[in-house]
């Protein structure tokens, strides 16, 4: 566990919220993710299962959480199953959780070894009517590899074919989208670490620097503060910034160009997702500043528009219509282009060709329901952009905000975004290098 310990009350509260949605006679089961193979005998770095972590704080492979709120034996209403530590495991893989540590971490008072799982589960299922099982139901997911969850579903249905099986994911989506105070504190920490990384880049950036050197500055700061990448970083200079998911990060940052950084720290499995666009030479050209200010105005207005009761599609459409006016002023659109637009494809789509934002949390594209209205506790990214390949200019700005009853709260307000402030910080750094 790289991050600092987390108050187990977070996970106790999360389980309570889920239990309130389970009907009588239910058993819910959540598995850890597989450790995925790479090449030869290698494996990829383990990625904790977001739902298991949300409910227990456990990040260890092969772990299983079972919730049976109506179990006759009160000691079986919450059980965490773990790999049993032994000398061989510790020699080859390192320390594994012991029962007392897992209890302290999760707040689950009953911790068993995996060898007991089948017997205990059978006893619970014989008394249960509904079995809630998990799967990845994110609308944008491409599930092409069989998961541990998928195998578990198939095996359980073969052994217990007469039970009523139900989907756990919709219930977890409802609870996870609303962030608690403790979750927001962890997300603020991720945002603050990202702020430190981006300020480090402002001190470092100058013509001739390579995109991968900027990446190195960021990961140095993230690692130093017990964080990791939230996602593959985008460090895109010049025309590369017009490639939305540019990942090569291998080109020089040239004098007079902009560099777009779409980066975020992940702290305690909670993510930040930020984008800033900086002038490589320390000063925006007139045209760069015009485009930059247009994007900034749309971002500011869209942040203000992230209010309780709004639908995501309406929020996005408002931003696209605002961008129409900005693109008119920039000479990139004509009034005739706007007259020809449709409700599905606004004219601004030509230069602002992605969504306005998404839910953020334990996953960068966090789980949520598009048909639901924004409610207090949602965390959203706000990321308008303008991309003009013919001019070699791409500008995107992105902040992370919490929807509250009193208006949006910006978790990323400390991160420099005003053009004048960015220029001042970069010029001060340049003077220090002389």
Q: Which CA distances in Å does 19 have to 12, 16, 25, 53?
A: 11, 5, 11, 16
373 flagged as catalytic: no
41 flagged as catalytic: yes
245 flagged as catalytic: yes
220 flagged as catalytic: no
Close Cβ partners of 325 (under 8 Å, ≥ 6 residues apart):
none
Catalytic hit among 211, 262, 366, 423: 262
206 burial (CB, 10 Å; 0-12 / 13-18 / 19+) is: middle
Taking the C-alpha atoms of residue 241 and residue 227, their distance in angstroms, rounded to an integer, is: 26
Catalytic hit among 273, 326, 363, 366: 273
Taking the C-alpha atoms of residue 120 and residue 112, their distance in angstroms, rounded to an integer, is: 10
383 flagged as catalytic: yes
Taking the C-alpha atoms of residue 143 and residue 141, their distance in angstroms, rounded to an integer, is: 6
Close Cβ partners of 311 (under 8 Å, ≥ 6 residues apart):
371, 373, 374
Catalytic hit among 41, 87, 100, 142: 41
Catalytic hit among 3, 192, 387, 423: 387
Taking the C-alpha atoms of residue 29 and residue 168, their distance in angstroms, rounded to an integer, is: 9
365 flagged as catalytic: yes
Catalytic hit among 358, 363, 366, 423: 358
Catalytic hit among 196, 365, 373, 424: 365
398 flagged as catalytic: yes
Catalytic hit among 61, 77, 396, 423: 396
Catalytic hit among 17, 19, 297, 354: 354
Q: CB–CB of 171/51 below 8 Å?
A: no
387 flagged as catalytic: yes
396 flagged as catalytic: yes
Q: Which residues are catalytic?
A: 41, 245, 262, 273, 354, 358, 365, 383, 387, 396, 398
């Amino acid at each position: 566990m790289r991050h600092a310990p987390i108050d187990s009350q977070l996970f106790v509260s999360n389980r309570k919220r889920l239990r309130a949605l389970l009907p009588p006679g239910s058993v819910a089961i959540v598995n850890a993710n597989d450790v995925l193979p790479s090449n030869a005998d290698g494996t990829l770095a383990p990625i904790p299962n977001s739902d298991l972590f949300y409910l227990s704080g456990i990040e260890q492979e092969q772990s299983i959480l079972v919730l049976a709120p109506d179990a006759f034996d009160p000691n079986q209403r919450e059980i965490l199953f773990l790999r049993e530590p032994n000398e061989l495991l510790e020699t080859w893989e390192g320390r594994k959780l012991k029962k007392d540590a897992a209890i302290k971490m999760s707040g689950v008072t009953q911790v068993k070894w995996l060898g007991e799982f089948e017997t205990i589960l059978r006893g619970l299922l014989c008394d249960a009517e509904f079995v809630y099982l998990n799967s990845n139901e994110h609308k944008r997911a491409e599930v092409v590899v069989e998961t541990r969850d998928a195998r578990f579903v198939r095996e359980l249905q073969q052994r217990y074919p007469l039970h009523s099986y139900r989907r756990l994911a919709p219930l977890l989506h409802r609870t996870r989208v609303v962030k608690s105070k403790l979750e927001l504190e962890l997300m603020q920490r991720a945002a603050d670490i990202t702020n430190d990384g981006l300020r480090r880049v402002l001190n470092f950036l100058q013509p001739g620097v390579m995109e991968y050197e900027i990446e190195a500055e960021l990961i140095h700061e993230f690692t130093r503060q017990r964080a990791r990448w939230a996602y593959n970083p985008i460090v895109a200079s010049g025309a590369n910034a017009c490639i939305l998911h540019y990942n090569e990060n291998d080109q020089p940052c040239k004098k007079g160009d902009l560099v777009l950084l779409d980066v975020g720290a992940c702290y305690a499995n909670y993510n930040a997702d930020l984008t800033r666009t900086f002038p490589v030479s320390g000063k925006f050209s007139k045209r760069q500043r015009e485009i930059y200010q247009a994007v900034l105005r749309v971002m500011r207005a869209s942040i203000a528009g992230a209010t309780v009761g709004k639908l995501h599609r309406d929020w996005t459409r408002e931003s696209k219509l605002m961008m129409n006016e900005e693109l008119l002023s920039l000479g990139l659109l004509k009034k005739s282009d706007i007259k020809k637009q449709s409700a599905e494809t606004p004219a601004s789509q030509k230069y602002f060709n992605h969504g306005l934002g998404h839910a953020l949390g334990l996953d960068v594209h966090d789980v949520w329901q598009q048909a639901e209205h924004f409610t207090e506790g949602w965390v959203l990214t706000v990321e308008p952009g303008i991309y003009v390949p013919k001019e070699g200019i791409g500008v995107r700005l992105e902040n992370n905000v919490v929807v509250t009853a009193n208006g949006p709260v910006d978790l990323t307000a400390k991160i420099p975004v005003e053009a004048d402030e960015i220029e001042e910080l970069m010029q001060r750094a340049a003077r220090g290098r002389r």
